[in-house]
Structure 1
């Protein structure tokens, strides 16, 4: 799987913003993790922090994660902003890059 740049990920997520907002009730998306730190490798997934207008069911959450993986062409690890573990919250929020 080819490595993607953070700019190409941002561009694609921004392009599909209307569809993602409408279909999945996504309020905000941010990137964090190895791609933001420019430490990604061929096995890296893309860590996406998400906020919803309406919290999805577990099955819908998995569907959203899979849809984003298909859209970006690489495995996505989707994390609800409100579900960040307390001990990691400050680190994640400090490195997060807001897409929209």
Structure 2
């Protein structure tokens, strides 16, 4: 299932992770692990935030993906099922 992973990082812990080199390594490891089709990085309400869209093969991956962000960055994480345009078209065609 295609999901949107939103990672909102605690500013103080993210500052420390930048200072000690943990943040770039964590992001790189996550990118290699989930191979997102899209990845965006921004600030939301003053927090560093990442939006990653990827295909989650099994929900048992949630702890594996989430825990490094929780333990290293004090992050708040959400997973949201999402569709691309082709998915919407496929779904709507089934309504006829």
Query: TM-score, normalization: structure 2?
Result: 0.44
Higher percent of residues as strand = 2
- Structure exhibiting the larger radius of gyration computed from Cα positions: 2
Tell which has more relative contact order, 1 or 2 (C-alpha 8 A, sep 6+): 2
The normalised TM-score by structure 1 is: 0.43
